[in-house]
């Protein structure tokens, strides 16, 4: 056996190289012996005994990180958010998703890696290859309304485990978990109809994000149930705007009321622009809510308006969605197929709706 290494010369965790020197063998031989020789390579029993003796003498224990790397698994789940600011602030609308993700990941024995490449000051997610960094993790959760399809499509094509939080039909093959915005939106409209409202307008941002599409579908489904098919197909029932603050003005609100509209509904987005513009315009018009007009929100209000009266609408089960996404991702990593059902949203009665002025229920 080779000369013993004085303990004073060793620092930190003993390495396989030190075991190899003490046993008088190659590091490859040490790796084979300590790894259980799964390759089935012929080793002399005396060689194996020397390696094990050296490992005991040095107090060698396997590095768990190195063992995971050797197995091509790090027990790391990635989280990539397509937002200007990564949602680590408690008031951020996406923060509860992270709470659910963290709790479920911890319960399943995984650590998290938060990728901030799309945040201000970082490499933009739309740049070529920007998403490749997520491959450091065993699999990744994606969060956000606008995702670069080409890069995500490549990850899926490569067989990289990925789950999007929120319904997303493209690219084909991407797993996702989602909230049942259609049923929740229809319930909000039914609530308004039950109060006596017959002319209701939805204000939404001008894009085709699946979450917005589902909210509009639920809104129109509710109109069809309560006011007939013509109301569902009425193009004036939905206003799409790329600049809510400029288009939804006090004059616009008064004009709609003059046409017989008695209630407005806005969608929730990560910007909160539609609800904020509607809320501001109604207040600037000097209208009482819900005395003069009723307001409802398909989701939760932005943080800067959360202290105001709770709006009628529904609550998105963000923590539950985050946990469901982790379950789906870890199932992929285990080679299993898992389908998470749409998560129901809880109706919120709020304080911003009432019977229409002069109307009867």
> Which of these, 202, 213, 206, 196, lies nearest to 237 by C-alpha position?
202
Distance CA 84, CA 144 (A): 10
Q: Give mean pLDDT, residues 323-337.
A: 90
Distance CA 177, CA 341 (A): 8
Q: What are phi and psi of 307, to 5 degrees?
A: -75, -15
At 196, list the tokens. 């006596």
Residue 125 pLDDT class (50, 70, 90 cuts): low
Parallel, antiparallel or unpaired: strands 263-267 and 238-241: unpaired
Q: What are phi and psi of 259, to 5 degrees?
A: -85, -5
Residue 39 has pLDDT above 90, yes or no: no
> Which of these, 348, 245, 350, 246, lies nearest to 308 by C-alpha position?
350
Distance CA 103, CA 93 (A): 18
Residue 9 has pLDDT above 50, yes or no: no
Tell me the per-residue pLDDT of 55-91, one tens digit each, with 9 for 90 and over.
888 877 665 554 444 455 678 999 998 776 667 776 6
What does pTM read for this prediction? 0.73
Q: What is the dihedral of CA 285, 290, 296, 301, to 10 degrees?
A: 70
Amino acid 8: pLDDT: 40
Amino acid 123: pLDDT: 46
Q: Which residues contact 316 (CB under 8 A, 6 or more apart)?
A: 179, 268, 299, 300, 345
Residue 271 has pLDDT above 60, yes or no: yes
Tell me the per-residue pLDDT of 172-186, one tens digit each, with 9 for 90 and over.
888 999 999 999 999
Lowest mean pLDDT among 60-74, 98-112, 120-134, 224-238: 60-74
Tell me the per-residue pLDDT of 191-204, one tens digit each, with 9 for 90 and over.
999 999 999 999 99
Q: Give mean pLDDT, residues 107-122.
A: 76
User: Higher pLDDT residue, 13 or 317?
Assistant: 317
Tell me the per-residue pLDDT of 140-161, one tens digit each, with 9 for 90 and over.
999 887 677 788 888 888 889 9
Amino acid 229: pLDDT: 58
Amino acid 346: pLDDT: 95
- Sheet containing 263-267: order of strands: 238-241, 200-205, 263-267, 294-298, 312-315, 346-348
Residue 103 has pLDDT above 90, yes or no: yes
Amino acid 208: pLDDT: 85
At 271, list the tokens. 């910007």
Lowest mean pLDDT among 177-186, 222-231, 346-355: 222-231
Q: How far is CA 201 from CA 256, 267, 279, in A?
A: 9, 11, 14
Kindly report the number of other CB atoms within 10 A of residue 31's CB atom: 16
């Amino acid at each position: 056996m080779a000369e013993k290494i004085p303990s004073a010369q060793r620092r930190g965790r003993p390495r396989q190289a030190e075991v190899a020197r003490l046993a008088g063998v190659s590091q490859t031989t040490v790796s084979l012996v300590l790894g259980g020789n799964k390759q089935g390579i012929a080793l002399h029993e005396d060689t194996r005994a020397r390696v094990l003796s050296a490992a005991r003498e040095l107090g060698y224990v396997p590095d768990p990180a190195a063992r995971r790397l050797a197995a091509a698994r790090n027990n790391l789940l990635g989280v990539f958010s397509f937002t200007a600011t990564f949602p680590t602030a408690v008031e951020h609308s996406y923060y509860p998703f992270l709470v659910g993700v963290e709790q479920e990941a911890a319960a399943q024995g995984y650590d998290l890696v938060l990728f901030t490449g799309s945040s201000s000051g970082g490499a933009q997610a739309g740049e070529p290859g920007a998403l490749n960094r997520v491959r450091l993790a065993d699999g990744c959760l994606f969060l956000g309304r606008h995702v670069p399809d080409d890069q995500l499509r490549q990850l899926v094509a490569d067989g990289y485990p990925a789950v999007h939080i929120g319904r997303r039909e493209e690219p084909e093959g991407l797993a996702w978990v989602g909230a049942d915005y259609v049923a929740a939106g229809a319930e909000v409209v039914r609530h308004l109809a039950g109060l006596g409202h017959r002319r209701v307008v939805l204000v939404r941002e001008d894009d085709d994000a699946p979450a917005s599409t589902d909210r509009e579908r639920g809104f129109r489904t509710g109109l069809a149930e309560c006011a007939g098919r013509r109301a569902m197909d009425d193009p004036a029932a939905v206003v799409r705007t790329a600049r809510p603050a400029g288009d939804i003005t006090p004059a616009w609100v008064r004009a709609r009321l003059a046409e017989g509209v008695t209630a407005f509904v806005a969608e929730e987005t990560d910007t909160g622009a539609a609800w904020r513009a509607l809320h501001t315009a109604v207040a600037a018009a000097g209208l009482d809510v819900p005395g003069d007009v009723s307001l409802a929100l398909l989701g939760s209000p932005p943080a800067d308006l959360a202290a105001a009266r709770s709006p009628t609408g529904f609550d998105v089960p963000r923590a539950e969605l985050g946990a469901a996404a982790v379950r789906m991702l870890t199932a992929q990593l285990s080679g299993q197929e898992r389908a998470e059902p749409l998560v129901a949203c809880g109706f919120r009665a709020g304080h911003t709706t009432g019977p229409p002025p002069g109307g009867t229920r």
